[in-house]
A and B are shown apart, each in its own frame.
Chain A
Amino acid sequence: MAERGWTVPSWPKEYGGGDLNGDEAKILKEEMTRINAMSPLESFGIWMLGPALLKYGSHEQKLQHLPKIARGEIRWCQGYSEPGSGSDLASVQTKGVDMGDHFLVSGQKIWTSYADQADWIFALVRTEPDAKKHKGISFLLFDMTSEGVSTKPIRLISGSSPFCETFFDDVKVPMENVVDERGNGWTIAKYLLTHEREMVSNLDAIFGGSAGLYETAIDSIGLDETGRLDDPLLRADIGEFLIDEMALTAHLAAAKDFHRAGNQLGARSAELKYLGTELNKRRQSLVVQAGGLEALSGPEENNGIGNQSASWLRSKGNSIEGGTSEIMLSIISKAVLRLPSLG
């Protein structure tokens, strides 16, 4: 697949892609689905960095990084959030001091997925301390084996996770590793976040199917003499969920058609992210409610019904990662409804 460029079918050939146009890429995807083929390669490089480099990277940067992403040779991680910069992402404090031919980067990132296994990182770093908040950030690429980089995995309420804390202690980053202009990192970050939201809201892992909700409810609660779930209040909650699930399914299909017709989702990706993650939280919550004590076995028990409690706990993060639900609502208020904002 990588030789044909089909790990990244729509990227240009010289950067390791398949040079397919939108319709061709769609056919490839449909054919792959039809034969039940696994996606050949999934990575942060493909979903996130690739699109950003294609849009903002120099020719040299594209040649250096994109073919390796396409072949799955280099694993990337994303250095965005910091302990003091969550929803207010543009307040990043990790600093890069201009040393002529390189920056000296120091600071801390958090929620860096797979940082402990990644080869390279793309990170938001404050390189222009005198510029305004949003204008002082650069988008840097660097090698995770550089001296001064260390990582520490984070354990979540749902158990072990790919998330890490990542520390930079005077890491040398060559000047040519800045993507686009110095100080233009926020623009790239915003572009990438929209991409991430679209990606997140299309993830079958998050939205696919009912996660066994209906089956779990029937198995663990049973039906009454009219054939209805023998817990009318839970049944009512499941019913509310059901129509919202059907609505979101229709809405995602509409969004895909809209996108395929050549329209940009823009701020409306916030709408999909908000609806999708909030719905998944409800779904997971209903699964453990329906499963009762059966769904609450601890992580070391293999009870054959999958780890429902871990999925439930993990889902709580859906409406935080990639921009909180509150941030999504603020984006919609401002960019779609055009309501006045404070700042």
Chain B
Amino acid sequence: MELFSSEETLLKDSASGFMAENASVQALRDLRDQKEALGFNQELHKTLADMGWFGILLPEDAGGYDFGHRAAGLVAEEMGRNLTASPFLSTAVLSAIALRQSGGEHLSEWGPKIATGDAVIALAIDEGAKHNPSRIKATAEPDGNGFILNARKRAVFDGYNADRLIVVAKTGEDTGLFLVDPSTTEVEVERNAMLDSRNAANIQISNLHLDGKDLLCPLDKGATVLEATLRLGRSIAASEQLGVAREVAERTTAYLNERKQFGVPIGMFQALQHRMADLYCQIEQTASLISSALRAIDTISDNAEALSRAAKAKVAKVSRVATEEAVQMHGGIGMTDEVDVGLFMKHDRVLTEMLGDSAHHIDFLLKTRGL
């Protein structure tokens, strides 16, 4: 029941057509089977940027198209449907927004490179198995005009071979976002191929001397910029995961119509019908929740933070059911690598952990309600 503006419909259709043709599940398979070290295809990255999607959230004076957050969500949803492997979330969403929120020279320098697909920038925030920005241990100790940075970051998506890292570290009580060149000797980047054939690097930074101008924004603004970055990042990640859920649910429904047992299509059995119908209802209300989160960000509504967290929490639950039901209802063939549903399940699991799982966000929401 989503309503789209004509621009949004146009964008959605072009993203849908493009991904299906150029960045499909088969493209991910090829990437995996060729053991591509980057976890994405560089040529494809360039083409996606040529389509304008890497500048979707950047202002025009930084080489972008300023299309809006809902629009970025629509592109991400199509990427989810096709399991498109690209540094979209890390670079065009998280890093672009951190730069945009900070403004200044870094935005002018790196914005255009992001938009043209000439730079990959990764957000180095997580430090343990679970996303928890309130427990960051990385430190940036003041040192003259600059800082000394020490950090041990994990699961830095697209952090392997990135052109720059945005490293989140504490200076006393303040939160700093530092633009770090990973090629310096104080930075050790270890590639970590994930279950979904993408990369998430583990990064060790030891006594790296930084200049004051390596800070994206003044220290007293760091926490606010980071919040805005994560708010949008989790909403776009939720859109991608919605794409995963919708695609596997549709593929499963199609399979129920096609697969015959006991002389009839198995979709005739009520035991399966009601599960699919329930899943459909859950997916649809999740889509509305994600849309409302992105529109709230677009309109700078007070609700945006809560909605973005609810969206991320809810989509993870729904998408898990969608992928699990897909495997179960496909039966034995669903367990084989030949059928795509397993690939959706793997990416879904990674997306759930990325930027916080359901429990993380539900805990936050409950606390804001006083319980």
In contact, B276 and A271 (Cβ under 8 angstroms) = no
Docked pose: A227 CA to B2 CA in angstroms = 38
Choose among A251, A254, A263, A339 the residue that contacts B273 (Cβ–Cβ < 8 A). Answer: A339
Q: Is B1 an interface residue (CB 8 A)?
A: yes
**Which A residues lie within 8 Å of B363 (CB)?**
228, 239
In contact, A240 and B362 (Cβ under 8 angstroms) = yes
Of B38-46, B53-61, B262-270, the one with at least 4 CB within 8 A of chain A: B262-270
Docked pose: A238 CA to B369 CA in angstroms = 11
**Which A residues lie within 8 Å of B286 (CB)?**
247
In contact, B365 and A242 (Cβ under 8 angstroms) = yes
Choose among A251, A332, A342 the residue that contacts B1 (Cβ–Cβ < 8 A). Answer: A251
B-contacting residues, A271-285, CB 8 Å: 271, 274-275
Choose among B270, B280, B307, B366 the residue that contacts A239 (Cβ–Cβ < 8 A). Answer: B366
B-contacting residues, A297-314, CB 8 Å: none
In contact, B277 and A246 (Cβ under 8 angstroms) = no
A-contacting residues, B273-299, CB 8 Å: 273-274, 276-278, 280-281, 284-286, 288-289, 291-292
Docked pose: A258 CA to B3 CA in angstroms = 7
In contact, A330 and B365 (Cβ under 8 angstroms) = no
How many residue pairs link A and B with beta carbons under 8 A? The number is 130
| CB closest residue in chain A, given B253 | A337
In contact, A330 and B273 (Cβ under 8 angstroms) = yes
In contact, A229 and B366 (Cβ under 8 angstroms) = yes
Q: Is B256 an interface residue (CB 8 A)?
A: yes
**Which B residues lie within 8 Å of A214 (CB)?**
369-371
In contact, A339 and B253 (Cβ under 8 angstroms) = yes
In contact, A257 and B310 (Cβ under 8 angstroms) = no
| Interface bits A231-274 vs B (CB < 8 Å: 1, else 0) | 00001101110111011101101110110010101001001001
Q: Smallest CB–CB gap between B361 and chain A, Å?
A: 8
In contact, A339 and B256 (Cβ under 8 angstroms) = yes
Choose among B267, B270, B274, B281 the residue that contacts A275 (Cβ–Cβ < 8 A). Answer: B281
Instruction: Decide if the interface of chain B is mainly helix, strand, loop or mixed.
Output: helix
**Which B residues lie within 8 Å of A236 (CB)?**
362
Docked pose: A168 CA to B178 CA in angstroms = 81
| CB closest residue in chain B, given A271 | B281
Q: Is A326 an interface residue (CB 8 A)?
A: yes
**Which B residues lie within 8 Å of A218 (CB)?**
370-371
In contact, B288 and A253 (Cβ under 8 angstroms) = yes
In contact, B273 and A329 (Cβ under 8 angstroms) = yes
**Which A residues lie within 8 Å of B367 (CB)?**
227-228
B-contacting residues, A101-130, CB 8 Å: none
In contact, A333 and B274 (Cβ under 8 angstroms) = yes
Docked pose: A255 CA to B281 CA in angstroms = 13
Q: Is B328 an interface residue (CB 8 A)?
A: no
In contact, A330 and B307 (Cβ under 8 angstroms) = no
In contact, A250 and B362 (Cβ under 8 angstroms) = no
Docked pose: A239 CA to B310 CA in angstroms = 10
| Interface bits B352-370 vs A (CB < 8 Å: 1, else 0) | 0000001101110111011
In contact, A244 and B314 (Cβ under 8 angstroms) = yes
With A228-B366, A341-B268 as given contacts, are A333 and B310 in contact (CB-CB < 8 Å)?
no
**Which B residues lie within 8 Å of A333 (CB)?**
270, 273-274, 276-277
Docked pose: A330 CA to B367 CA in angstroms = 38
**Which B residues lie within 8 Å of A228 (CB)?**
363, 366-367, 371
Choose among B277, B288, B291, B306 the residue that contacts A330 (Cβ–Cβ < 8 A). Answer: B277
In contact, B280 and A336 (Cβ under 8 angstroms) = yes
Choose among B268, B280, B314 the residue that contacts A271 (Cβ–Cβ < 8 A). Answer: B280
In contact, A247 and B277 (Cβ under 8 angstroms) = no
In contact, A251 and B371 (Cβ under 8 angstroms) = no
Docked pose: A228 CA to B268 CA in angstroms = 46
Q: Smallest CB–CB gap between A201 and chain B, Å?
A: 12
Q: Is A203 an interface residue (CB 8 A)?
A: no
Docked pose: A337 CA to B369 CA in angstroms = 37
Docked pose: A340 CA to B264 CA in angstroms = 9
**Which B residues lie within 8 Å of A248 (CB)?**
285
**Which A residues lie within 8 Å of B359 (CB)?**
239
Instruction: Decide if the interface of chain A is mainly helix, strand, loop or mixed.
Output: helix
**Which A residues lie within 8 Å of B257 (CB)?**
338-340
Q: Is B313 an interface residue (CB 8 A)?
A: yes
In contact, B3 and A339 (Cβ under 8 angstroms) = no
In contact, B307 and A261 (Cβ under 8 angstroms) = no
| CB closest residue in chain A, given B281 | A271
In contact, B280 and A247 (Cβ under 8 angstroms) = no
Q: Smallest CB–CB gap between B17 and chain A, Å?
A: 23
**Which A residues lie within 8 Å of B306 (CB)?**
246
| CB closest residue in chain B, given A230 | B371
In contact, B274 and A329 (Cβ under 8 angstroms) = yes
In contact, A243 and B310 (Cβ under 8 angstroms) = yes
Q: Is A223 an interface residue (CB 8 A)?
A: yes
Choose among B276, B281, B317, B369 the residue that contacts A242 (Cβ–Cβ < 8 A). Answer: B369
Q: Smallest CB–CB gap between B248 and chain A, Å?
A: 14
**Which B residues lie within 8 Å of A247 (CB)?**
285-286, 288-289, 310, 314
Docked pose: A257 CA to B264 CA in angstroms = 40
| Interface bits A165-183 vs B (CB < 8 Å: 1, else 0) | 0000000000000000000
**Which A residues lie within 8 Å of B369 (CB)?**
214, 242
In contact, B276 and A339 (Cβ under 8 angstroms) = yes
With A242-B365, A341-B268 as given contacts, are A329 and B278 in contact (CB-CB < 8 Å)?
yes
Q: Is A144 an interface residue (CB 8 A)?
A: no
**Which A residues lie within 8 Å of B307 (CB)?**
246, 250
In contact, A342 and B268 (Cβ under 8 angstroms) = yes
Docked pose: A33 CA to B278 CA in angstroms = 34
**13 pairs from A and B in contact (CB 8 Å cutoff):** A214-B371, A239-B363, A246-B289, A247-B314, A251-B289, A253-B288, A254-B292, A258-B3, A329-B274, A329-B278, A333-B274, A336-B280, A340-B265
Given A250-B288, A250-B291, A253-B292, 16 more pairs with CB closer than 8 A: A218-B370, A235-B371, A239-B366, A242-B366, A243-B314, A246-B289, A247-B289, A251-B1, A255-B1, A258-B3, A274-B278, A332-B280, A333-B276, A339-B268, A339-B273, A340-B268
Question: Which 10 pairs from chain A and chain B are nearest by CB?
Answer: A239-B362, A333-B273, A251-B285, A332-B277, A251-B288, A329-B277, A250-B292, A254-B288, A339-B267, A258-B1
